[in-house]
Chains A and B, each alone.
Chain A
Amino acid sequence: MKTILFIIQKEFRQIFRNKAMLPIIFVLPMIQLLILSNAASFEIKNIKFSYIDNDHSVTSRELISKFQASNYFNVIESFSSKKVADWQMQTGKVDVILEIPNHFERDIIKENGSNLSVSINAIDGAAAGVESVYISQIINSYNQKIQTQLYQYNEASYIRPVNIVTIPSFWYNNTLNYKTFMVPGILVLLVTMLTLFLSSMNIVREKEMGTLEQINVTPIRKYQFIIGKLFPFWVLGLVILTVGLTIAKVVFSVPILGSIGLIYFFTSIYLLVILGIGLIISNNSDTQQQAMFIAWFFSVIFILMSGLFTPIESMPQWAQNLTLLNPILYFVEIIRMVMLKGATFSDISRPFFIIIFYAFALNGIAVWTYKKVN
């Protein structure tokens, strides 16, 4: 025990002697949380909207004003012909072209319907999908309104149309605030990446400097060295979590409905998993550069397959199965459940036990692959 304390003391001294370390621990998470949480949004705003109005009627102008009134569309300009509009699409000036045909108003009144043509820039397929939904919503609501008016005008003495209005109620994030959803996720990412990188490069550093050989000649036992080496990074992980939670609460007003204690309890075990991975990487690399690349390789896979940026439900089945191996997935799931839903321990027990299992398995491998003797 005394030996471990001496190692921990030495580690902390080295960590804080490194001038880059304090900014890495406190400033980087702040900047990343502030920037990423604002930037990483799937809401599509400021869609560059243009139109060709061949009808020039009251109805067509009213339809366009609907787009002008929307927050999501920036009405850039109106074009006189499809040809000009297509050219502007190609140069990237506009994303959406709405073409209103001749006799649009007349067709609606007389034939009870008309066709509109919409062209959408679909280089970003996901964005195009969302834009198409927005556009149909606006057109539909406008169209229904017209129909309703027409009904009332022509058949006033008959049955009034039943207007069904759907009022969605969004649970757990009722204003659909994107940040409420993203901030906990990005916090997970930060805690994971920083601890993974710092821990995986730490033991390799001793290998590079030649001090590891000196350590191996001392009677330090494997477990003492590993605990002494990793404990400081475990503490740092929790400090980063604290910084992040504070920013989430103070800057983004993300609700923390569940127990903070539960978040810390889970994170403290989750960090063991990450430190175990870091140690395995350290054991299998000879230079910090190698360790860095391997750590990077794993983080990219873990992050993209964590459900943080893309829903896991929409991945192919084999990829969904793979995500079950991803520790970040469980952390994202749990921190969102606890913060936004107020989940209690019994709600998160399944991912919790999976993480405990991982902690044992990975650290087992890590200790086993750490060799004092060759």
Chain B
Amino acid sequence: MNKEKIIEVQNLTKQFGHFTAVNSISFDVYRGEIFGFLGANGAGKTTAMKMLIGISKPTSGEALVAGFDVKTNTEMVKRSIGYMSQKFSMYDDLTIKENITFFGGIYGLSKIQIKEKTERLVEELKLEEVIDKLVGSLPLGWKQKLSFSVALLHEPKIVFLDEPTGGVDPITRRQFWEMIYAEANKGTTIFVTTHYMDEAEYCDRVSIMVEGNIEALDTPKNLKSKYNVASMNDVFLKLARNAE
């Protein structure tokens, strides 16, 4: 396997007052892999992710994302990544086309590039009918697929997905993961947090965070054999239960 590191994390820590949300975690993510970032609610995964995408300053430790230091070279980190948050974050009061124009524009795409991207998206996602509709009027599944595509507009090296499939039906979730696979096959690194353990099975490697620490990091297959259980669900329950 091609082991080029795209994210390198060393002793990354975030404290809020006396509370340590992320406790000196270290891990690497390789180019082109789908990296699952798992953990119970409040385990610190969103905080860790926010440090990697440059919107939260680490208390201590190092992190290189696409080769850039998240503390000192935040702007370059941001140019190299795409982000889709658990809160749906396109503008409801703009049409799909206007959202694409805006997000393309602020990533520095030219008018021609924006036009090409829009046409390609319309084709891939079959948006002909709705391209001029307000995003607010679309069903959630649509919005999430769209949101993912918009996060990829500027062809980032890494895309961060924070619980991307929360609240959508199984069919849409399946379609969503097909999109993720297609993107990973193009060489884009996918960093995804999720609560769905079946989704964890789709990942190349997963890490499980418990109370600010990474308790396990390996392929789903290795983790299952290590803990001698049948599913990722059981791995997760075992680790999370130990913490209690």
A-side residues, CB < 8 A to B, are: 2-3, 5-7, 9-10, 13-14, 17-18, 209-211, 213-221, 372-374
CA distance A216 to B160 in the complex (A): 14
What 10 pairs across the A-B complex have the smallest Cβ distances?
Answer: A6-B105, A210-B87, A214-B89, A217-B83, A219-B78, A10-B102, A216-B55, A219-B79, A210-B89, A211-B89
Q: Can you list, as one digit per residue, whether each of B211-236 has a CB less than 8 Å from chain A (1) or not (0)? A: 00000000000000000000000000
- With both beta carbons as reference points, the residue of chain B lying nearest to A225 in the complex is identified as B106
CB contact list, B63-122 vs A, under 8 A:
74-75, 78-79, 81, 83, 85, 87-94, 98, 101-103, 105-108
B55 touches A10 (CB 8 A): no
Instruction: Add 12 more A-B contacts to A6-B106, A213-B85, A373-B56 (CB < 8 A).
Output: A5-B105, A6-B105, A7-B106, A9-B101, A10-B94, A211-B91, A214-B83, A217-B54, A217-B55, A219-B78, A219-B106, A374-B55
- With both beta carbons as reference points, the residue of chain A lying nearest to B55 in the complex is identified as A216
The interface on chain B, measured as residues whose beta carbon lies within 8 A of the other chain's beta carbons, has a size of: 29
CA distance A220 to B79 in the complex (A): 9
A209 touches B92 (CB 8 A): yes
B88 touches A217 (CB 8 A): no
**What B residues does A213 contact at CB under 8 A?**
55, 85, 87, 89
**What B residues does A217 contact at CB under 8 A?**
53-55, 78, 81, 83
Could you show 14 A-B contacts with beta carbons less than 8 Å apart?
A: A10-B98, A13-B98, A14-B91, A209-B92, A210-B88, A210-B89, A211-B90, A216-B55, A217-B54, A217-B83, A218-B106, A218-B107, A372-B55, A374-B55
CA distance A184 to B56 in the complex (A): 47
- With both beta carbons as reference points, the residue of chain A lying nearest to B71 in the complex is identified as A373
CA distance A6 to B107 in the complex (A): 10
B173 is an interface residue with CB less than 8 A from chain A = no
Name, among B89, B98, B107, B134, the residue most crowded by chain A CB atoms within 10 Å (CB to CB). Answer: B89
B57 is an interface residue with CB less than 8 A from chain A = yes
**What B residues does A209 contact at CB under 8 A?**
89, 91-92
B87 to chain A, nearest CB (A): 4
- With both beta carbons as reference points, the residue of chain A lying nearest to B103 in the complex is identified as A218
Also in contact, A6 and B94, with CB within 8 A (given A213-B87, A217-B54, A218-B106): no
Also in contact, A6 and B101, with CB within 8 A (given A209-B92, A220-B106): yes
**What A residues does B83 contact at CB under 8 A?**
214, 217
- With both beta carbons as reference points, the residue of chain B lying nearest to A212 in the complex is identified as B89
